[in-house]
Amino acid sequence: MSTAQPWPLKEAIALVESLEGRDVDGPVLFETGYGPSGLPHIGTFAEVARTTFIRRAFQQVSDRPTKLIAFSDDMDGLRKVPLNLPNPELVEPHLGKPLSSIPDPFGVDSSYSAHMNRRLREFLDEFGFEYSFRSSTDVYTSGGFNAGLRILLQRVDQVLAVILPTLRPHKRAGWSPFMVTCPDCGRNLSTSVTAYHPEDDAVSIACDSARWEGAVGCGFTGQVNILDGRAKAGWKVDWALRWWTFGVHYEMYGKDLIESAALSKRLVQVMDGTPPIGLFYEMFLDEDGRKISKSVGKGISVDGWQAYAPVESLLAFLYQNPRKAKRLHYDVIPMFVDQYLKQLTDWSGQDEQARLWNPSYFYFDRDLPRPAWDTSVNYTLVRNLAVCLGKDDADLVLEYLKRYDASVGSPAHADLAKDLIRGAVAYDRDWEADKRVKKAPSPESVPALLALADAVEAYVGEDSEAMQGLVFDTARAHDLEPRALFKTIYQGLIGQDRGPRLGSFFLALGQAESAAALRALAG
Ligand SMILES: [Zn+2]
C-alpha cells in the first residue's frame, strides 16, 4: 500500500497501533456524543457517519469486533429554549433542569430529551448505521456511573488540580466536578457544591444560583448522595467518566472541543484509565462562511438534503477531508450527488485494492447489498433534461432517460433512478428556476440551428460522440465558433451558459424532440 491512505483507514491504523500491548476485553469501542438540547443537526449526523467510516476501515486492518455507542447527554441542564421549537412557553418554566425532566414541547414523547433522542435514532436508522444508543440519564440512574463517580469524589483534589488552572480566576471558587440535582426544585444548573464527603458518597450543596444565574435557586441547603442519578458530572469530567466507564477507544470531536478533550484525557489518567484516541474535525459553515450554530440551526439539514437528492449522496459530502472547513449550503448538492453516482459507477470495474480508494467503500456495510449505478446518467443530465422538457413529471423524465440508456429502468437501478429524478426536479424548482432566463439566439446563428435540427433528425445510430460531432460540423459549416453555438443552444434551451454534453443530451431528449426544440429556438 502506498504511503498516502484514505483518511478513515489512516485513523483505523492509528487505532490499531494505540491498542498494541493493551488488554482489550470485548469489542473495540467507538463513541459519538450528542447534546439533545435541540433537534439533531447535520453535525451530529456527520460525527456518526464519519465514525462509521472508520469502523468500516478498521475491519480492513483488524479482526477484532467493534461497537459504536451513540451517547446522548440528556441529563444536561437546559440553559435556554432553542429558537426553532414549538410551544416555548411549555419549556420556559423548566430552565435549569435536566433535559430528561422537561416536558416534550412537541407533546409526543415522555420528555424533552426523549423526543430529541428519538429523532436522532430515526435519522441514523435511515442510513442503516449500526450503533448502540445510550442515554446519560439511564446510565446515571441505573448506577452505571457509580464506580467512576466514587473515584472522582475520592480524588476530587486531583480533579480540581487539573481543571481549576484552566478557568478564569472568578470562576474557580464556585466550580465543582459534580452537578447535583436539587432535591427540592429539581434543577441541576442552580446548585453549587459547598463541601465534599467521600466517606458518605455525598456532597453538601446550596441551591443558590451560584453556578448559573439563569436558573433561580430555591434556597435548599444540605448533604446529597451523588450516586444513582442524583448528580451528574459536569462537562469535561462527564466526558472522562464515560470514557473510563465504557472503556472507549476512539472518539472524534469538533475543533471547538480540542481543549476539553485534552482535559478529559488527563482526567481519565487521574482515574487510572487510558484515554481514547481520535481526530478533531473542522466545523461546517453556512452560505456566508460563518460557523453553523446549533441553536439557530442555519445551513442545511439532513431532511433538507434528502428533499433534493438520494440521501446517501450526503455521505459523499461528509467523506471529504474532515480537517477542512466545509461550506454546507444547497448549492453544494449537485456536485456531491454526481460524485456519489460516479463512485458507484466506478465500483463495478474495480478490484479489492482499488475499491479501498473509492470513498463509497466506507458508505455501506460490506456484508449488505449496496446500490449500483452502472450508467453515465447523472444529476446534471437529469436536471437539464427536466428543464428542457419543461415538465416536472418524474415518470416522463424517466421515459426520456431510458432512451438515452435503457439500463436506467432496470431493477438494479430503478430505486436510485426514481430518487434521483424526484430530487433533481425538486432542486430545479426550488433553487434554479428563478435564476434561469432563456435567451433568443442571434440572427446569424439561426441558419446553423436549423441546419443542426435537420442533421440531428437525419442521424442514424446511437453514438453520442457522433451526435456531439454534428454540433461541431454544423458550427464550422456556418463559420461559427463551436463554443458560441453551444452557448446559444444552452442559453436557448435551458437558460444557462453551460450545460450537458449535447450529444448525450439530444439522444436522451430524442432526435425528433431535439430537432423540434432547435427549430422552435430558431424561431
Ligand atoms: Zn432548588
pLDDT given for residue 1 in this prediction: 41
Tell me the CA–centroid distance for residue 149 and ligand 1, in Å: 22
Residue with cell 416522463: 396
Measured N-to-C along each axis, helices 502-509 and 379-389 cross at an angle, to the nearest 10 degrees, of 50
Q: Is 495 left (phi over 0), alpha (psi -120 to 50) or beta?
A: left
pLDDT given for residue 73 in this prediction: 96
Tell me the CA–centroid distance for residue 80 and ligand 1, in Å: 18
pLDDT given for residue 295 in this prediction: 44
CATH architecture for residues 437-522: Orthogonal Bundle (1.10)
Nearest-10 Cα torsion for 196, 202, 205, 207: 150
Tell me the CA–centroid distance for residue 191 and ligand 1, in Å: 7
Name the residues around ion ligand 1, CB cutoff 5 A. Answer: 182, 184-185, 207, 218, 220
Residue with cell 485534552: 262
Name the CATH code of domain 1-281 (choices 3.40.50.620, 3.30.300.30, 3.90.180.10, 3.40.50.1220): 3.40.50.620
Domain map (residue ranges) of the chain: 1-281, 302-399+406-429, 437-522
Tell me the CA–centroid distance for residue 183 and ligand 1, in Å: 7
SS3 73: coil
Tell me the CA–centroid distance for residue 387 and ligand 1, in Å: 62
| Per-run averaged pLDDT (10 residues), the chain, 523 residues | 79 97 92 90 89 96 96 94 89 95 96 95 87 97 98 98 95 93 95 96 92 82 98 97 98 94 98 96 82 59 89 93 87 95 96 94 91 92 85 85 88 92 92 86 95 96 92 96 95 87 88 94 92
| CA-based nearest residue to 489, from 461, 450, 463, 454 | 450
Tell me the CA–centroid distance for residue 209 and ligand 1, in Å: 9
Calpha distance 230→145 (Å, rounded)? 11
SS3 of 174-220: the string is CCCCEEECCCCCCCCCCEEEEEEEHHHCEEEEEECCCCCCCCCCCCC
Tell me the CA–centroid distance for residue 218 and ligand 1, in Å: 4
Task: Tell me the pTM.
Answer: 0.89
Look up residue 76 and give its three cell numbers. 444536561
pLDDT given for residue 421 in this prediction: 94
Tell me the CA–centroid distance for residue 214 and ligand 1, in Å: 13
pLDDT given for residue 128 in this prediction: 84
